Amino acid sequence: MPGEWKVLNEVKGTVGKVKGTVGKIENFHLRFNRYREWESRNSKSPQKITDYKFENTQFVKELSVINSNRERIIYYWNRAYPGTFRIVKGKTQWRLIVGLGVSHPAETSMKLHYIYGVPYIPGSALKGLLSHYWLKERLYPVARKILQNHANNESAKKEKPISKIYSLLETIAASWDFQKELNENIKSFSNYPSDIIPDVKIVRRLMEDKEFSTSVNTYQTIFGTQNQKGCFIFFDAYPLSGDDIKLEKDVMTPHYGQYYNAKEGSEKFPTDTQFPNPINFVTWSGTFLFVVKSICSEVKKKLLDEVKKDLIEALSNYGIGAKTAVGYGRFEDLSDFTETYISDLEMKQARKERLEEEKRKQEAEKKEQEKLNAMPEKERILYQLKKCIEEGVVKDCHNISIEVFNKLDSFAPEEKKAVARLLKSVWKKEKKWSGTKGKQKDRVKKIREILEER
């Protein structure tokens, strides 16, 4: 039936029917990936997945939990390892789409958190973006200069040109082992395709250059290799606020589907006789926090700041996610937010800890009062008097001591001396035992008599 809602299972196909419940599903990941509307024209035609509205989707509650968790992690980690974080704040210039090619029943998808259902940028995507930026902006210019200088020599004209210079740099950066000698490293490159490594002399020429080898070493320090971990952690980037994030429908329309899908050797051409195929997808925009942390003790502040600067450049000029070549995934107003974020976080945490401490004190005082109210009067005043001596937690110890003194005669003879000793301790502590006048002098005299002191 047209407009029928069904639960979609990627493995078993369609199972069960859902009526009027889709709008009640809070998790957007579940709603977007598992509950879709199917349209069937007749029994012979295939079913088609139709779209649904999501303009009113909000992530305020989910992002509040995520941001709270992020604040807690950064706060305690920063206390243990201060100065190891760099935090960048920025907003999308236009639209962003991450995870467009992920398997999805509606052909196009988006990256959503499995638990919270919030669109986000994985830390692995940020690391991949920065790695691409480093290869393009750091290693490639140095390599090009070296190879160009060599190409001007007569001996270089006999060598085959490098058809995949980017792949060559990527291979060197990811595979070079600085613990081994130059020749040992070069031997391992003999297994790579010839269009990537046309001549081991090229590799030798590059790695013998101090500037290039230093850049490769720095690249490996940041991103790691197959044999060593990198010194930086890239956190998943989430929108800063649920009110700020905005989901929008978009469309791409391939005009030459038959040409793109044709098998090799076929005679399909990109002609205007083919039918356009509009494909809907979802984009989003918002303000994000990008968090990078160094985890190696040898990493200097200069390199941490360099990584932060390069991340800002990459997000501004390269963009992240799908369709960056046509303007998607670019960011603007990117700035170092570290000092402000950490400072606000410490103030917020200090206020939170102060409120928690006040709450604990109030609860302790309440329990203490309940305990006192349940005690007989004599037991209560003695208990308070002992706390005055031991802990000094009762505010008005002198008034309590007077209250105990006034009831001194009601105690049994064997208790009187013990109570008198308590009173003596309190008054000595308060400097009301010697050199007193008036009523206090008479009280001290009586206690001395009970204790048989002169």
Residues whose CB is less than 8 angstroms from the CB of residue 174 and which lie 6 or more positions away in sequence, other chains included: 225, 226
Measured between alpha carbons, how far is 382 from 386 in angstroms, rounded to an integer? 6
In this prediction, residue 109 has a pLDDT band, given cuts at 50, 70 and 90, of confident
In this prediction, residue 52 has a pLDDT band, given cuts at 50, 70 and 90, of low
pLDDT beyond 60 at 393: no
Q: What DSSP line would sit under 96-127, residue for residue?
A: B---TTS--TTS----B-TTT--B-B-HHHHH
H or E segment to which residue 336 belongs: strand 331-336
pLDDT in tens, 155-183: 555 555 555 677 888 888 988 999 888 88
Measured between alpha carbons, how far is 239 from 290 in angstroms, rounded to an integer? 10
CB atoms near residue 397 (< 10 Å): 19
Average pLDDT over every residue of 307-336: 95
pTM of the complete model: 0.76
Measured between alpha carbons, how far is 88 from 311 in angstroms, rounded to an integer? 9
Average pLDDT over every residue of 73-90: 94
The full 3-state SS of 54-72, as one line of letters, equals CCCCCCHHHHHHHHHHHHH
Measured between alpha carbons, how far is 375 from 289 in angstroms, rounded to an integer? 56
Average pLDDT over every residue of 214-233: 92
3-state secondary structure (DSSP) of residue 391: coil
pLDDT attached to residue 198: 54
In this prediction, residue 324 has a pLDDT band, given cuts at 50, 70 and 90, of very high
